[in-house]
A and B are shown apart, each in its own frame.
Chain A
Amino acid sequence: MADSRVAGYAEALFAVAAAEGDSSVVEDELFRFAQALRSDKDLGSTLADTGLPLARRLQVIEDLLGSRVSAVTTALVSMVVGAGRAAELPDIVDAMVERGAASRNKTVATVRSAVDLTADQSERLAAAINTRTGRDVEVRVVIDPSVLGGVVTEIGDDIIDGSVRRRLNQLRESFR
């Protein structure tokens, strides 16, 4: 039931984004906001708190996104929160991003890095993943300071970990 609801909302968001023009930009903005929700539990709980007036929660969204993302992105986030599904927004966005990539015959590659990748690095990484796995991917970057340095790429169930954190963990394991 939850999966079908998430898929339904994702399909709706993708349809709206596609109808409004360049859906990849909206997908990227929504993806970054979803990652922010995952990392900031207070923000997630605030938006999901039905005890707060909806206007107050929508105002929070407007304050956070209004000047940084497209109006379509802000409207879609407000729609999901207004529907009382703020807690499911990250999963909805993930499904929407996958849906958009699938519409372009691509697969989403979630890339975790301590710093943002340049456009050139993203393109080269997508090409490298294509060379290695044979799949066309769309790189979605998630800023994760715990990685310390390097990159961790997740493509479905496959993980390519080249982070400094992994090397430190390996070093820690070698001490035991």
Chain B
Amino acid sequence: MTNRWNRLLAAPLLALLALLAFAGPASASGESVGSCMAEKLEELIEESHGDLEEVLHELHVDTSIGDHFEKNCIEAPSPILPETNEIIWGGSAFLILFVLMVKKGFPAVRGAMDARAEKIRSDLDAAEQARVDAQSVQSDYEARLADAKTEASQLIDEARVAADQLKGDLAESAEVDIAEMRERAAVDIESSRAQAIADLRSEVAGIALGAAERVVHASLDAEVQSRLIDAYIDEVAGTDG
């Protein structure tokens, strides 16, 4: 990461250094009108072998020279085509900068971009994975929810069936209990009736026997007692027939 940032910073620094280094020569090519005319004048002086008087004279006689000076020095530069030295300096700087950018800047930028793209791709993959995971969790949750609903429905159905079964069992049990109670009641009634009859019979028998005993006791006088004893004696002896 640090190496990549260094590369990114190196490219503009080199471009700035190149501009500073070649700015001077480039601005020198844009000479002023005075210097241009001085330069022309020096050329005339050299052509006149240093005779300034002669040069001034020619300028005075031949005005076309002055016009030539003005034409060559005052003429405005082309707004489209720069000066030659400017093209050289600028082109050189551009080439150098271009080479530097191609060699150093572009790989660094491309590496950073690749890393950035890789990171974005990784983040997208992670997001996709997270989305898939979330979808999976959601599917699982929905499946669980569906299972829970199904299970709850089954439980409700089972509870309803159990309730119906219990209801049926209770009804059946109640019917059985009622039948048993009726049977027991019938048995009890029959038993009570039989007991009442037996009690009544015993009571009647007691009354009848009591009356019979009183009658017998009243009828057992001495003669009857004697006859009973004699009859007993005959019975024991086996002569009673």
Cα distance, A149 to B221, chains bound together (Å): 9
Q: Which residues of B contact A175 (CB under 8 A)?
A: 201-202, 204-205, 208-209
**Given A131-B237, A132-B237, A132-B238: A117 and B229 within 8 A (CB)?**
yes
Give chain A's interface residue range (CB within 8 Å of chain B).
20 to 34
Interface: A128 (CB within 8 A): yes
Enumerate A117-170 residues with CB–CB distance to B below 8 Å. Answer: 117-118, 121, 124-125, 127-129, 131-132, 148-151, 153, 160, 162, 164, 168
Task: From B216, B225, B226, B231, name the one whose CB has the most chain A CB atoms within 10 angstroms.
Answer: B225
Give the tally of cross-chain contacts (CB within 8 A).
Answer: 80
Cα distance, A128 to B233, chains bound together (Å): 6
Give chain B's interface residue range (CB within 8 Å of chain A).
20 to 34
Enumerate B39-63 residues with CB–CB distance to A below 8 Å. Answer: none
Interface: A80 (CB within 8 A): no
Interface: A115 (CB within 8 A): yes
Q: Which residues of B contact A128 (CB under 8 A)?
A: 233-234, 236-238
Are B202 and A121 touching (Cβ within 8 A)?
Answer: no
Enumerate B161-205 residues with CB–CB distance to A below 8 Å. Answer: 198, 201-202, 204-205
**Chain B residues in contact with chain A, CB under 8 A?**
198, 201-202, 204-206, 208-209, 212-213, 216-217, 220, 222, 224-226, 228-238
Known: A148-B213, A164-B220, A176-B202. 15 other contacts (CB 8 A): A113-B229, A121-B229, A124-B230, A127-B237, A132-B237, A132-B238, A148-B216, A149-B220, A150-B232, A162-B231, A162-B232, A168-B209, A168-B212, A172-B206, A175-B209
